[in-house]
Structure 1
Amino acid sequence: MPLNHAHDALTLSVAPMMDWTDSHCRVFHRLLAPHARLYTEMVHAQAVIHGDRDRLLGFDASEHPVALQLGGSDPADLAEASRIAEQWGYDEVNLNVGCPSDRVQAGRFGACLMKEPALVADCIAAMLAAVAIPVTVKCRLGVDEQEDYGAFRDFVDQVAATGCRTFFVHARKAWLQGLSPKENREVPPLRYEWAYQLKRERPQLDIAVNGGITTPEAVHEHLCHSDGVMLGRVAYHEPYVLHQVDAALWQQPLRSRADLLRAFQPYVQSQLDKGVALKHMARHVLGLFHGQPGGRMFRQILSAGAHRADADWRLIEQAIEATDLAAQRLHSESARASTSESAS
């Protein structure tokens, strides 16, 4: 990893993901990645202003550094929501200019704002004027027929002129019609070179790359050309990859999956004591043993049992033990097979 990344909070982050990166998820991710910057699910500015703030904004102190991602396109609303976020102790506010869903478009926010750089600049200027914490942008390369690097650079330039320094670039464009949000994460081709070129041409900006990054090796490669990497779905579906990346970047020893999960126990127990059902926390750990012997059994045990009203930490211990037994059985079978081959 390039030396200039060694202590930079931008180096590694976990993307905001709707229905996934709630507070329970972020506490677990903090255990996996002590150095990563964590993001909330997107929350509309109006919801922050008028909604249940305890439910929408509450977070655990262990999550720091943690950022609130806002959706919206009204500068005054976004400024007020940013002030509230700062009062609640968030370390950053981020404006979503990348979500292409129909519902988001109908509200005139998300990726459709890539077509309105002047409005985005007005929003960011208002947010920057309202708070002392960093204000950042998560965007795409463009939308629909936009196929020009110059247009992408001009968008960033117009927003950066407000004083915004940090851009998280999902290195795909988005189609506003004809593709689902899932397809918009897969169908448009990745063009990391646009993010790299932007960093070369605008070295004063902090540029983090997002989209399709799934291995520690890929993270290292991107960091040779950018200031940071934002991991998305791999951090959720295969969370041990997040731990591997964090450990590699900061040269820390890897912990076992079981150790990491047991480190989650005090938080889980505190939530159970408050009446929170186990299922709300267990769903975030289902992929921890992905690709490992017994990984499917681990997932099955939790999926089948976590919804029960009386489910508690013992279910997770049961799943860990079943996974350990499966690994031991596989090791024994491999040893026997090796002995047989040697004897023959």
Structure 2
Amino acid sequence: MHINQAHRLSIAPMMDWTDRHCRAFHRALTTRALLYTEMVTAPAVIHGDPERLLAFDAVEHPVALQLGGSDPRQLAEAARIGVGFGYDEINLNVGCPSDRVQSGRFGACLMREPELVADCMAAIREAVDVPATVKCRIGVDEQEPQDSLFATVDACAAVGVSVFIVHARKAWLKGLSPKENRDVPPLDYGLVRRLKRERPHLSVSINGGIGTLDEAEAHLDADSPEWGDGVALDGVMLGRAAYHDPALLGQADRRIFGAGTADVNAFEALERYRPYLAARLDAGVSLSAMTRHMLGLMHGRPGARAFRRILTVEAIRPGAGLEVLDRALDAVREAEARRERLVEAA
């Protein structure tokens, strides 16, 4: 599948969450969604340990590397290193609102410097032969979103960038924490949809506050009665919804990509993930580093609380192995069997 088709549904880059173990787990649920790394700064890639920062498992494809930075030469070098590791896309972060990012002159504060963003993207595009894409906000602080968003997109489009993922919120760099910036600024889906309507030649994906596949489908459907504007966005990026309720990804290949395959249930996903778990355990990775990403998998099912408790408490013990996962799964099966007996008895 072409990388641009994979943009139809992607999983957001989330610091401390979407590490390689999380991505491999999500891949067990969907074979088609595009996965993103956590943001890695260009200087860290160049001067740090690229193996530790960039290594990933082949099962993760298609997977994009998200870079942070504002120096075109550094970003070009980091992009080349990333492509050397096999990433399918290089994405520039123009949306992160943290203090550390602001002091380093990258992330959301770059919304104030659209020409610099364009220079960065031109350098990345020249350096690599995989797609170079932008993830941005609709503006920062007192900016007028319709001006800042279009200025950033148009400057990048002028140097050949055609794929944009837009978090449909402003970032308030003064007065709000990064966590508050994920919830407090109001969403403006209409502006992102207007961007697609007025720039139909560009690929526009929407991010921010989308919690279900129903909502995702509505954004992708030009005939959706929910919007009634005749606009079909090119993609939807899920963040916290995919992380906290990952089971929804098991329906994504069928519902979002039209695959003629059966949905992947939670038990099947963990069976698929099991070889990865075993290989990483053999390599010395702790079980808890991997199971922490699957705590929401049984959300809404009988035994979900026991599943989370077993993984949380037992996976951190020295030497914990796959038997912990087996116990957690047994707790769900037993709870479901009890519910079935009660229903039958009633």
TM-score by length of 2: 0.93
Aligned equivalents of 1:182, 1:246: Cα separation in 2 = 30
Structure-to-structure mapping, 1:31-50, within 5 angstroms: 31-50=28-47
Equivalents in 2 of 1:237, 1:117: separation in Å?
Answer: 34
> Following the alignment from structure 1 to structure 2, what is the Cα–Cα distance between the partners of residues 108 and 131?
23
Q: Deviations over 1:215-261 (max 9, x none)?
A: 11101001122000111011111101122233322343122211111
- In the other structure, the counterpart of 1:269 is 278
Equivalence for 2:234: 227
Q: Would you say 1:122 and 2:119 are equivalent positions? A: yes
The one-letter code of the counterpart of 1:269 is: A
Q: Alpha-carbon deviations, 1:105-132, whole Å to 9, x = none?
A: 1111100000111111111111111111
CA displacement, residues 180-210 of structure 1 (integer Å, 9 cap, x when unaligned): 1111111111111111111111111100011
Which ranges of structure 1 fall in alignment gaps of 5 or more residues? Answer: 338-344
Select 2:337's aligned residue among 305, 328, 332. 328
CA shift, 1:279, in A, is 0.8
What SS does the aligned partner of 1:128 have?
helix
**Cα distance in 2 for residues equivalent to 1:123 and 1:147:** 23
**Alpha carbons 2:122, 2:159 under 8 Å: kept:** yes
1:297 maps to what in 2?
306
Q: Distance in 2 between matches of 1:215 and 1:265?
A: 26
Q: What is the match of residue 243 of structure 1?
A: 250
- How far apart, in 2, do the equivalents of 1:256 and 1:19 lie? 26
Q: Which residue of 2 aligns with 1:314?
A: 323
Q: Retained in 2: the 8 A contact 1:33–1:247?
A: no
1:208 aligns with 2:205: yes
1:65-106: CA deviation from partner (whole Å, max 9, x where unpaired): 111000000111001001111111111100000000111111
Report runs of 4+ in structure 1 exceeding 6 Å deviation: none
- Render the CA deviation track for 1:45-72: whole Å, top value 9, x for unaligned: 0011011111101000111111100000
Partners of 2:289 and 2:167 in 1: CA distance: 28
Distance in 2 separating the partners of 1:131 and 1:15: 22
Alignment partners' CA distance in 2, 1:197 and 1:282: 40
The correspondence of residues 38-187 of structure 1 with structure 2, limited to 5 A, is 38-187=35-184
* Counterpart secondary structure, 1:24: helix
Shift of 1:307: 0.5
Matches within 5 A, 1:192-207: 192-207=189-204
Q: CA deviation at 1:34?
A: 0.4
CA distance in 1, matches of 2:253, 2:239: 14
CA distance in 2, matches of 1:37, 1:17: 14
What is the rounded CA distance, in whole Å, between the counterparts of 2:14 and 2:58 in structure 1?
Answer: 20
SS at match of 1:32: coil
Check conservation: 2:213, 2:248, Cα contact below 8 A.
yes
